[in-house]
Amino acid sequence: MPRDWCTTVGFDKQTGIGWAGGYVGLGVSTSNLSGRTLTDLLLGNDTELTRLPWVNRTVRKWEPEPLRWLGVHSMYQLYRIADEREAKGLPRTSRLAALADRITGH
């Protein structure tokens, strides 16, 4: 799972290595789009797909363990509590959700 929960696809011409990932629950449609994008990148085609902002995007790295584990599990708990508060009638987005967003890099 990427730090910012966003999909990325890329190709390094020098090494010949292509990659796609970070679907985070959106795998079926996004993997199809990734495959079509990778095809254009491999063939060297300049298309609408190869100009998308997710192509060759740099993703911020996770902190070393156990800080990564603590951050991820803290984020899950913050979102869970925020959802519970909002379900009970909080009239705005919970500040806990905003804190969880900061942990993820959103």
Read off the pTM. 0.66
In the chain, domain spans: 1-61, 67-104
The beta-carbon contacts of 83-87 under 8 Å, at least 24 apart in sequence, are: none
pLDDT at 4: 78
Residues 20-34 have pLDDT tens digits of 998 877 678 889 999
Residues 68-86 have pLDDT tens digits of 899 889 989 999 999 999 9
